[in-house]
Structures are given as structure tokens and as C-alpha cells.
């Protein structure tokens, strides 16, 4: 490299000291040395100087690292917004052995930011098409694609052990939890990532060295895949987001990402790629009938509220019912018919709740009439503005708020949820943050940079990196933070995971314990539960049909009472959790259980009452020590709901709120969760640390 320098005099001091700065941006230019030396003072702070007699470069990488890339086998989980950018980056960086897995299929709405896909790919497997497109960048790469769920039992601990590194590009918490546990069990480094609008986050998880994804408590998830909004809503917020989408489809600016019709290419509705692709094609063509948008259909019917009602709440729901695979483990929705409701009079305009009108919950027929009135009012406002006009949804505009309240509550009723008052809907509506291609690209690049550190054996130099919307006080958009160590009482990566749960043993069924507590709350996939009663009574078995007779029995029927202990094992995740049962009859209404440590509607840090008599550890016995993962989320067709309209203002103004004792508290990029860094106790020593000089300290409210 020294022989190729054309401006050696400018670098004389560096060469004499045995150091040289590598500046890859100008590597191909014969004038790069001149441009480099013109800004040496700045570059000395930004680039790592390396001994000149040891540097052998392959491209922009050291030869040893480049050789490592060509032989290292890595796993990419997710081929959506971040996954596409990541796969492209990996092959261009020099990775040769890559496996990518994604259950999803390509939708038209993906094409504006997932650049490995084209219109001709709609309905096909994301993983397979991403592989084919990435190979055009590097034909010599060996890429294996799986159109499957990472939670499939086929992808066990041994599967994960075959990789040197796992990189997540997921869009839901359940899959993140699962990959977190599999990497802990296999003792494989995991890079977590996520985006939400202009915000992004990347972090590294390594067993025994860093926090795992589940070390920090997380509030209720605030990001949802598109197919959940359109096909399988399970929470009121899903219906509220759907209603806001519907407002834009009918009266506002149409957006392909905000389609409200049933998602015919929902990957969960079909595990067969050919069948999914056929459904997507059929959905586009509908035989010889050209599909029209929701707004075009409404205009052709002169915004007839009753016809619109029957399309949305009857016809579309009946179509969803034909996707029978969706309802094998869910309660099927119940269609509503306007004429039937009007003729039978079964639903009077009763209201529940006391106080102000906005705090009352109407009956179903009441919301039907409100839907009709709001559609007629909004149609009139649209006509007044003239052809091509659009309305903008505003929670302080009564007709707009009436429409979203009525549509959301009707959908809640159809999917067997408790309806909400206008006040509740207004407070939950918030802002919806779209996915942004540039954010995905930045985060994907950061994932590769952290991956290079890991492969170079420099785990201690890895960081959690936050991408901000606005520059901070140091005029930086990217803010690195030192990785935190494992939380001692984490119910996933602690050496003896244990948690206390309050339940009413006389009302809680075995099925609720399995589905709502173990699977939904604690993220298990196929739990086996044994009662620690001295007999080893099997309460739940992952073997199909073995304990099915127990499902509808109450916990008390098996002698479970206050102080009983349950051992829950998930052999797929190589994970064991001890559960202390605390009987109570004082749970709040509609609350089935509460994890000790926090309110029932929040995800609490579990109690860690480690019993001396239990030597249960997770992962390999060789590495049964507190382990780690990450605290980052996802992207790709997700909706993020911000609770306050002032969120953007708070995010930007927060960059000016600096304190010397608290590290920045940053919103989790995909889920909107907060991740608070630990207090800096020794400011003087922190200032003396080079890494900490870049750890900007921002306090977010």
C-alpha cells in the first residue's frame, strides 16, 4: 500500500510513526491521498489508524476479515424493509454463505421501499425473490432461502448453532422473543434492529455479556403487521388503526399501505407458496373484472352509507371467513347486516358508562346510526370542496372523529372485543408513522458494521446505535451507547429464571395458562408444564392430544393454590421458567392475571425468587450464566401508534434536554417502547473514556 502513495510527503509524519489512516471513500481515485491529507485533523478523530506494515486490504477490508467473511455462515431473519437492504449489503460486503428466512409474501405496498422486489414478484415468497435479486449483485454467493416461520420447530437450537452470527430484521415481538431465546440457547451473537419512521435502532446481544431482548420490561406493543390490521385484529387499537385507514381510503389521500380490504395473500392463511401467489393474482384480477379502489367504489355508489356498511362489515367479513386457516385457533368474526339489524331491533341505542357523552359506550345500533350520519356529513364536506378534493383526518374534527369511533367499534364488535367510548378512541388514535426506505437503508448499513466487529473478534467495541430524526446538540443523527450487561433477574437469560404470577386459581383455566400466560405473555412456543407437588403431575404437554382433556379445567381442580410452583419447559427454545402461583380474587375487571412487579397492563420486570433447591439453567450447561440479547424492534409494513400528537415536537426538543447524569432514553424504534440506559455515576471517569465522548446524553420525557 505504501508503494502506491503519490503524495508521501503529506503523510510523512504518519509513516514515520508507523501509522496510516485508511479512507475507503477515495480508494479508487488517484487523488485520494491529496483529499485525505487536506483534512487530516478531522480524520484523525474519525478513523482508526493501523500499523502500515500489517495492512493488507481486500477491497476496503483487512485481508483476514475479508477471508473470514467468505467462510462465515450467517442467518438473516426477515426479508422485508430492513431485510432487503441488509441482504444487498451483505453480498456487496463480501459475505458468501447466507441463509434468509421469511414467512411473508410480496404485496404491492412493499414495492416503494423493498427494492429487491418488482411488480412481477407480487404474491411470491419474499425470501426466495430476495435471494434471486441479491445473487445478481454477487453471483458467486451461496444464499439459501426459506419460505417459512422462524418459529417452526424445524429451526431448533442445532440449526442456530450452525451459524456464526444471526441478524434480525423482524416485524413482531413474538418472533423477536423466540430468536432471542434460540440465540441464547445456542450461544450465538444476535444483532437486533428496527425502524419507525425516521427513528432507528441497532444493538448487539451476546449471552453473558449484554442484555437480552427481554431483559427490559416493554409496554403493550404499538406496531402491527398489515395483515393483522386487515384480517385478524385482536385488540381495539387494531380496529382504530383500520378505521383511520378507512377514512383516508374513502375521503382522504389514498395510500397502498393503508388498504382495508381483506389481505388475500396473508401468509398465515396458506403455507403453500404457490397457493399464496395464486390468491394474490386472483385478488388482482378477480377474473375478468377490473378491481377498483375503495374510494372509486364509494363514488360509484354515491357514498351510500348502508351499501358501504354492508360491504365493510358484512361482505368483507364473510370473505375473511372463507380463509378458514385463519380461524382454526381464533374465534371467527361475526358479520353484521344492516337490514337484519334494522328489522330485528335486537340492538337498541343503549349506552353504558356514566359522565360526559364522550365517555359513554353506545350499543351496536347506536354505532350503526353514527356511522351513517358521519358518512353523509363527510360526503357533503367532500362535495363542497369540489372534484379531486380530499379531507384530512383530525381528531378535533367532530365528523371525522365520529366516523372513526363508529367504524372502529363496529369492527371491535364483529371480532368479539369490548367496544370503546369516543373519549377512549380519541386518546388511542394518535399518529401513524410510515416506514421510510432511507431509515431502513441506514439501519441495514449499521447492522453490517456491527457484524464486521463481531467477526473481527471485537465484541467489546460493539454498540447500541440510535438513529434520531433531528441532530442532537453535537449535531449528530447517529448516537452510539455502550451495551448494558444482563439484568440479574431477567426471566429469560438469568441463570435460574423465576417469576411470580397473580391469578384466581378458581377462574383461570389450563388453556388460559397455556395460551395467555405462557405463550402470549412469556413467549413460549410449545410449553410443557409440571406441577411441583412431589408427584410430577403433568398439567400441559406439548404432545398433541396428551393433555387436551385438561384445557377447560380450572387450576384449582389440580390442587394448585396460593404458593404452588409450576415448572414450564419449552424444549424447542431450550428454556425453563419456574412460576410461583399467587392466588388472588382482587384482580381488576377483564384482567386474568398479573405478573408481580407492575400494573397488569404493563410488561413488568418479573420477580426472581430463586430457590436454592433448583438448579435449572437455560442454554448449554457449559454456558449457564446470565445471558443476553437485544432490545430492538422491527419494520416492514408495520404501523406505529404514538399516544400524543406532540410526539414529534417532543422528539425534536428532547435533543436539547441534556443531563450529565442520565444516558439518553430512546423510544424503541419499532414498538415505541422506551429503553432507558443506566445512570452514569462517575462523570469524570466517563469523560475520560474515548467511547463515552460519543455517547450523547439526552433525556426524553
Say how far apart CA 224 and CA 233 lie, in whole Å. Answer: 9
Which residues, in sequence order, are CB contacts of 559 under 8 Å at separation 6+? 531, 533, 537
Degrees, nearest 5: CA angle 599-602-607? 70
DSSP state of 189: -
Say how far apart CA 264 and CA 646 lie, in whole Å. Answer: 36
Say how far apart CA 421 and CA 357 lie, in whole Å. Answer: 9
Handedness of CA 527, 533, 534, 537 (dihedral sign): negative
Which residue in the block uniquely carries the three cell numbers 409496554?
219
Active site residues: 227
Phi, psi at 355, each rounded to 5°: 95, -145
Degrees, nearest 5: CA angle 677-683-685? 105
As given in the structure block, the three cell numbers for residue 133 are 435479486
Say how far apart CA 77 and CA 190 lie, in whole Å. Answer: 11
Read out DSSP for 466-526? EE-SS--TTS-SEEEEEPPPPPTT-TTTSSS-EEEEEE-TTT-BHHHIIIIIIIIIT--SS
Say how far apart CA 677 and CA 665 lie, in whole Å. Answer: 6
Say how far apart CA 501 and CA 512 lie, in whole Å. Answer: 13
What count of Cα atoms within 13 Å lies in the side-chain half-sphere of residue 682? Answer: 5
Q: Cβ–Cβ contacts within 10 Å for residue 388, how many? A: 5
Residues 407/438, Cβ–Cβ less than 8 Å: no
Amino acid at each position: 500500500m505504501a508503494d502506491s502513495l503519490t503524495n508521501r510527503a503529506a503523510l510523512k509524519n504518519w509513516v514515520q510513526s508507523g501509522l496510516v489512516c485508511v479512507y475507503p471513500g477515495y480508494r479508487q481515485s488517484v487523488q485520494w491521498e491529496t483529499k485525505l491529507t487536506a483534512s487530516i485533523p478531522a480524520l484523525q478523530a474519525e478513523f482508526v489508524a493501523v500499523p502500515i506494515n500489517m495492512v493488507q486490504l481486500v477491497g476496503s477490508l483487512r485481508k483476514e476479515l475479508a477471508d473470514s467473511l467468505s467462510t462465515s455462515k450467517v442467518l438473516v431473519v426477515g426479508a422485508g424493509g430492513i431485510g432487503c437492504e441488509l441482504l444487498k449489503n451483505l453480498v456487496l460486503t463480501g459475505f458468501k454463505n447466507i441463509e434468509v428466512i421469511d414467512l411473508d409474501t410480496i404485496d404491492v405496498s412493499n414495492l416503494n421501499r423493498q427494492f429487491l422486489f418488482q411488480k412481477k414478484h407480487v404474491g411470491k415468497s419474499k425470501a426466495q425473490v430476495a435471494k434471486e435479486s441479491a445473487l445478481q449483485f454477487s453471483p458467486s454467493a451461496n444464499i439459501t432461502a426459506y419460505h417459512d416461520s422462524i418459529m417452526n420447530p424445524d429451526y431448533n437450537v442445532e440449526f442456530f448453532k450452525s451459524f456464526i452470527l444471526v441478524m434480525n430484521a423482524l416485524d413482531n415481538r413474538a418472533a423477536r422473543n423466540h430468536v432471542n431465546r434460540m440465540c441464547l440457547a445456542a450461544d450465538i451473537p444476535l444483532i437486533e434492529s428496527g425502524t419507525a419512521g425516521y427513528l432507528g435502532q441497532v444493538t448487539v446481544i451476546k449471552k453473558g455479556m449484554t442484555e437480552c431482548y427481554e431483559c427490559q420490561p416493554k409496554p403493550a406493543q404499538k406496531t402491527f403487521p398489515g395483515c393483522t390490521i386487515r384480517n385478524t385484529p385482536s385488540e381495539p387499537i387494531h380496529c382504530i388503526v383500520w378505521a383511520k385507514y378507512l377514512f383516508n381510503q374513502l375521503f382522504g389521500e389514498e395510500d397502498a399501505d393503508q388498504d382495508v380490504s381483506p389481505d388475500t395473500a396473508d401468509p398465515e392463511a396458506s403455507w403453500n407458496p404457490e397457493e399464496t401467489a395464486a390468491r394474490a393474482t386472483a385478488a388482482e384480477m378477480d377474473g375478468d373484472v377490473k378491481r377498483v379502489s375503495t374510494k372509486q367504489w364509494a363514488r360509484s355508489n354515491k357514498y351510500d352509507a348502508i351499501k358501504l356498511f354492508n360491504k365493510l362489515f358484512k361482505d368483507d367479513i364473510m370473505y375473511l371467513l372463507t380463509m378458514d386457516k385463519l380461524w382454526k385457533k381464533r374465534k371467527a368474526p361475526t358479520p353484521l347486516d344492516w337490514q337484519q339489524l334494522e328489522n330485528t331491533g335486537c340492538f337498541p341505542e343503549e349506552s353504558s358508562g356514566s359522565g360526559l357523552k364522550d365517555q359513554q359506550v353506545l350499543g351496536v345500533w347506536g354505532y350503526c346510526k353514527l356511522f351513517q350520519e358521519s358518512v353523509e356529513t363527510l360526503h357533503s364536506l367532500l362535495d363542497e370542496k369540489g372534484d379531486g378534493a380530499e379531507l384530512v383526518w383530525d381528531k378535533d374534527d367532530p365528523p371525522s372523529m365520529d366516523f372513526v369511533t363508529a367504524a372502529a367499534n363496529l369492527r371491535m364488535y364483529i371480532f368479539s372485543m369490548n367496544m370503546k367510548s369516543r373519549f377512549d378512541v380519541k386518546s388511542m388514535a394518535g399518529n401513524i408513522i410510515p416506514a421510510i426506505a432511507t431509515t431502513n437503508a441506514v439501519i441495514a448499513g449499521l447492522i453490517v458494521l456491527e457484524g464486521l466487529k463481531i467477526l473481527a473478534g471485537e465484541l467489546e467495541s460493539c454498540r447500541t446505535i440510535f438513529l434520531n430524526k433531528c441532530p442532537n446538540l453535537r449535531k449528530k443523527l447517529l448516537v452510539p451507547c455502550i451495551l448494558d450487561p444482563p439484568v440479574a433477574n431477567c426471566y429469560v437469560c438469568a441463570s435460574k429464571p423465576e417469576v411470580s404470577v397473580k391469578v384466581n386459581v378458581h377462574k383461570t383455566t389450563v388453556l388460559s395458562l397455556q395460551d395467555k400466560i405462557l405463550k402470549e405473555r412469556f413467549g413460549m412456543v410449545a410449553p410443557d408444564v409440571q406441577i411441583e407437588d412431589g408427584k410430577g403431575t403433568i398439567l400441559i404437554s406439548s404432545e398433541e392430544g396428551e393433555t387436551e382433556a385438561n384445557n377447560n379445567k380450572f387450576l384449582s381442580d389440580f390442587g394448585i393454590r396460593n404458593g404452588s410452583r409450576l415448572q414450564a419447559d419449552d424444549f424447542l427454545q431450550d428454556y425453563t421458567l419456574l412460576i410461583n402461583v399467587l392466588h388472588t380474587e382482587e384482580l381488576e375487571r377483564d384482567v386474568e392475571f398479573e405478573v408481580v412487579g407492575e400494573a397488569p397492563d404493563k410488561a413488568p420486570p418479573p420477580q426472581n425468587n430463586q430457590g436454592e433447591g433448583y438448579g435449572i439453567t437455560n442454554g448449554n450447561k457449559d454456558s449457564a450464566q446470565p445471558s443476553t440479547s437485544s432490545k430492538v424492534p422491527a419494520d416492514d409494513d408495520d404501523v406505529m401508534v404514538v399516544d400524543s400528537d406532540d410526539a414529534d415536537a417532543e422528539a425534536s426538543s428532547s435533543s436539547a434536554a441534556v443531563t450529565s447524569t442520565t444516558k439518553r432514553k430512546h423510544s424503541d424504534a419499532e414498538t415505541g417502547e422506551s429503553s432507558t440506559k443506566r445512570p452514569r455515576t462517575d462523570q469524570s471517569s466517563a469523560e475520560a473514556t474515548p467511547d463515552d465522548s460519543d455517547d450523547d446524553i439526552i433525556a426524553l420525557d
